[in-house]
Structures are given as structure tokens and as C-alpha cells.
Amino acid sequence: MNRELISTKELKTEYWRATIEEGRANLQIYYEKQVDALSFFIADQGKERIIVHYLDKLVALLYRYSDKEIVGLRVDAFKKRFLPRYSELEKVWKLSDSGIDIQDFGDLEIAARKRVGPVAREIYRAADPIVEKKGLKLEPVPA
């Protein structure tokens, strides 16, 4: 049985809200193929200690240990179980659907950078009902 380190209600959303509202979002996405987990952050966290707080078997909030502010989302079994459930997310995840003629590494890098916002937005949309069910409200992620 999993036990929470802290209650979901103890997590704070002020940093998330301010970052989005003030246009300071610098979305960063990390996919860990070995464990099939995708994480995204709304801004660079530097050397901050980040804690994973699961809301269900797949979706977790990422928060800073220092102040309990939510700074991102994590999805486990991303490609295996989560991605197939959300067609809009699946569309933006695939670079083959980007419409960009990928000829070299530069094209690949540009295509990937252009997809960070839409991928983060679709993960937010898919996870938002789970977050709200736990009593939290996060501002929508910009594309």
C-alpha cells in the first residue's frame, strides 16, 4: 500500500498560477524511455529537490521540497497506457504528424521544440480532471 508523504491538500499552486499568468512559463519535457515516464515542468527548476506526488496509478504532481509548490506533472506508463487514451495528445506526440520535412538534425530539433508547448498542453488537459478530483486547480498550460 502506498502512503503519501504529505496530503495533496498541502501542495501549493501559487507558483504555477503566477508563472502561467505572468507569461514566465518555460515548458520543459523529459521522456524516460527505460521506465516509460514523461515529466514536464513549467519552468527550469535548477538544483531544486523535486518530489513526485501520485494522484492515481499513472498521474503525479511534481513539487518542490523546499516550499511544496507544484512545478510540473509526471505520467507513468506514458506510451504504453496513457498516450493511447488521448487522441489529441497522440497527434502532437508524433513527429511524423508535424508537417515538417525532417532532413537533418536541425530540422528534428526545430520540430521537437515546436511540439513542447502542444504536448505539455495536452498532458495538462488529460491530467486536469484527475488533479481537480483531488481538490486542486491548476491554470491551463499555454501551447
Buried-state track 67-100, b at ≥16 Cβ within 10 A, e below 16? eebbbbbbbbebeeebbeebeebeebbeeeebee
Question: Among 74, 72, 69, 70, which residue's Cα sits nearest to residue 59?
Answer: 74
Residue 108: all three cell numbers together: 528534428
Where residue 1 falls among pLDDT bands split at 50, 70, 90?
very low
pLDDT at 35: 97
Where residue 3 falls among pLDDT bands split at 50, 70, 90?
low
Residue 101 has pLDDT above 80, yes or no: no
Are 49 and 65 within 8 A, CB to CB? yes
Phi, psi of 109 (to 5 degrees): -65, -45
First to last CA, the chain: 37
Q: What is the pLDDT of residues 76-100, one digit of tens each?
A: 999 999 999 999 999 889 877 667 7
Three-class SS state of 34: coil
Q: What is the pLDDT of residues 14-62, one digit of tens each?
A: 999 999 999 999 999 999 999 999 999 999 988 999 999 999 999 999 9
Enumerate the domain spans of the chain.
9-133
Residue 6: all three cell numbers together: 504529505
Determine what percent of the chain is predicted with pLDDT higher than 90.
75
